[in-house]
A and B are shown apart, each in its own frame.
Chain A
Amino acid sequence: MMRLAPAALALALLLGGCEREERAFNKEPENREPVVALSPLSPGDGVPQAASSPDAEHYQQNAYQLSEGKRLFGWFNCTGCHGNGGGGSGPALMDGKWIYGGNIENIVATIREGRPNGMPSFRGKIPDNQIWQIAAYVRSLSGNVAKDAAPGRNDDLNAHPAENRLPEIKPVSGGTTPPSAAMPQ
C-alpha cells in the first residue's frame, strides 16, 4: 500500500497538468457582456460595482487559450499599432499603465467596443471567445497571467523575452495616447 502511494501521487500530479492547456474546440462563442468599471470613483460609499466574468480565470490560466491569443494578436495585426506590446501609434501594452483599466474585462471591452483616438471596434468581427483569448494574451505581456501557462517561445523574431519570462507589473491607471495617434487639437 505504501509503495503505491508515490505512484498515485505522481499520477495525480501528471493529471493535474492536463488542466494547464485543456482545449474545447466546439465551445459556443460567449455573448456575455462583462460589466466593467472604467472609473475608480463612485458617488456615495464604496467603490463602483463591477462584476467579474467567471471565464476570466479560465482564459488567463490556460496555455491553449493564451497561445491562441498570441497567434490572433499577430494575425489580426494588433502589432501594427501596438508594436509587439511595446507601443507605436497605439499605447504600449507591457508597461502596466492602463488608460481604460487593466482587468481582462476592461481589455475585452476595449477590443470589442474600441476606444477614442484610433482603437477600432471589433464587435461582430472577432468572435467573443477569440476576443477573450486576445485579452488574456495582452495581460500576459505585463506578466499578469499564470506563469506556467504563458507562451514560452516565439516562432519568429524575439521582440521581447517570451511571455512567461516577462516581469509582472501590477496594473495602474495612467498612460496616455501616443502623440502619433492623438486627434489633431
Chain B
Amino acid sequence: MNALRSALRCGLALVLAVAPGGCAGIQSALDAHGVEAGAIAWLIWIFTAVCAAVWLLVMLALALGLLRRRRIADAPLGAHYGTGRTRVIATFTLLTGVIVIALSVLSYLTDKSLATPGPAPLTVTLIGHQWWWEIRYDDPDPSRSFTTANELHLPAGVQVKLSLQSTDVIHSFWVPSLAGKEDLIPGWKNDISFTPQSPGLYRGQCAEFCGLQHAHMGLLVAVQTRAEFDAWYAAQVAPAAMAAAPDVKRGHDVFMRSGCILCHAIRGTRAGGRVGPDLTHVGSRMALAADALPLSRDTLALWIANPQGVKPGANMPRVKLADADLEAVARYLESLR
C-alpha cells in the first residue's frame, strides 16, 4: 500500500515537472513567437482558465451537495426543497449560456482577425509533396527568384504570405509557434499570412495524414534579423559553386552521370530535374529528407545509400553507387553551401 502511494506521488511529481516543459520548445502553440500564434495562445489560455473555473465550481457544488445530502432516505425526492430551486437552476442555465456565447464570440473574433490580414510585403510559395516541402521565393526579377526545400527562412517582424499548393494529396502547414493551421490542397491555392516576431528556429509538421511518411514530413523555419535574411537570400540566389577539389569534382561527375540527375536540380550545372528537392545549396541546410536526419556528410551518404531504410515508401529510390563514388557524392553535396 505504501509502495503504491509513493509510486503515485512519484508519478504526480514527474507529471508536474514535465508538463510545463511541454509548453516551451521550437514546436509549441503555447510558446508563441508570432502575432497570430500569440492571439491563438491567448485564446487557449482564456478557454483553459474559464473551463477550469467552471469545472472547479461544479465540483465544489457537487461536494456541497454530497455533504448536505438528504437525511431521511425515504422522503420523496425534492420534497424539502423550497421555491428557490427554480431560481438557482435558471441562474446557472443562463450563466452557462452566457459563458458559451462569450467564448464563441472570442473565438470568432480571433479567427476573423487571423483570416483578414493586411497586404504582406513578402510572399513565399510552399508546395507539399509526399513527403517533403518545396519552397519558392519569387521575385519580379527572375534572377532573384529561387527554389529550395524543407527549410523556410523569414525575416522577423515582417508579415509573410505563404501561398500553399500541393502536387499529390492534401497536406497541412502547421508551425505552432508562429501561426495557425492551413491545408495544402492539390488543384487549389490556399494562403496563410503571419508575422514572426522573434528570431529563432521553429519547427513545423505536416498536420494532415498524407501517407506512409507523414510523420517524417517536418519543416524547419528559421526566423532571422533583416540583415541575416538578406545575406541568406543573396547566397541562395547564387548558382552552385564550381566543384574544384578533386574528390568534390568526382562527386559532381558521379551525380551528373547517375540516377540523381533525373529528379534533382542543381542550379549552375546540367542537373535540372524538377520532381525532387532542389539541391543547389543543400549543404547549407540544417536537416535532410524533411527533417528526418540532421545534415552531415555521413547522413547524406546514409540517405543516398539506403533511403528506404530511413523513410520506407519515400519516392527516393536506392541508387547503386560504388563506395568511393558514394563518398564523393556525399562530399560534393556537403560542399554545396
Contact = CB atoms under 8 A, between A and B. Distances in A.
B69 interface: no
A129 interface: yes
**Per DSSP, are chain A's interface residues mostly helix, strand or loop, or mixed?**
loop
B70 interface: no
Given A75-B263, A125-B261, A125-B262, A29 B318 contact: yes
A23 interface: yes
A127 B320 contact: yes
A176 to B, nearest CB: 28
Interface in B251-309: 257-259, 261-263, 275, 306, 308-309
A124 interface: yes
Contacts of A75: 262-263, 275
Interface of B is mostly: loop
B258 A125 contact: yes
Contact of A126 (B168, B262, B275, B318): B262
Given A26-B308, A29-B318, A125 B259 contact: yes
B186 A29 contact: no
Given A76-B262, A155-B168, A124 B317 contact: no
Interface residues of A, number: 16
B312 interface: yes
Interface string A69-102: 0010001100000000000000000000000000
Question: Of A75, A126, A129, which is in contact with the most chain B CB atoms at under 10 Å from its CB?
Answer: A75
A25 B259 contact: no
Contacts of B309: 26
A134 B186 CA distance: 24
Given A75-B263, A125-B259, A127-B259, A23 B319 contact: no
Contacts, number: 37
Contacts of B275: 75
A133 B28 CA distance: 42
Nearest to B261: A125
B257 A25 contact: no
Contact of A127 (B186, B261, B319): B319
A181 B319 CA distance: 31
A129 B315 CA distance: 13
Contact of A25 (B261, B262, B312, B319): B312
Contacts of A129: 317
Nearest to A76: B262
A90 B74 CA distance: 95
A124 B306 CA distance: 17
Specify which of B186, B257, B258, B259 lies most central, judged by the most chain A CB atoms within 10 Å of its CB: B259
A130 interface: yes
B22 interface: no
A9 B315 CA distance: 36
Given A75-B263, A155-B168, A155-B186, A29 B317 contact: yes
Nearest to A124: B258
Given A125-B261, A126-B259, A126-B262, A25 B186 contact: no
B171 to A, nearest CB: 15
A34 B307 CA distance: 26
A46 B179 CA distance: 73
A124 B325 CA distance: 13
Contacts of A125: 258-259, 261-262
B318 A127 contact: yes
B313 A25 contact: yes
Interface of A: 23, 25-26, 28-29, 31, 71, 75-76, 124-127, 129-130, 155
5 closest residue pairs by CB, A with B: A26-B308, A25-B308, A25-B312, A75-B275, A127-B317
16 contacts: A25-B313, A26-B308, A26-B309, A29-B317, A29-B318, A29-B320, A31-B320, A124-B259, A125-B258, A125-B262, A126-B259, A127-B317, A127-B319, A130-B317, A155-B168, A155-B186
Given A26-B318, A29-B318, 12 more contacts: A25-B312, A26-B312, A28-B318, A29-B317, A29-B320, A124-B258, A124-B259, A125-B259, A126-B262, A127-B259, A127-B317, A127-B320
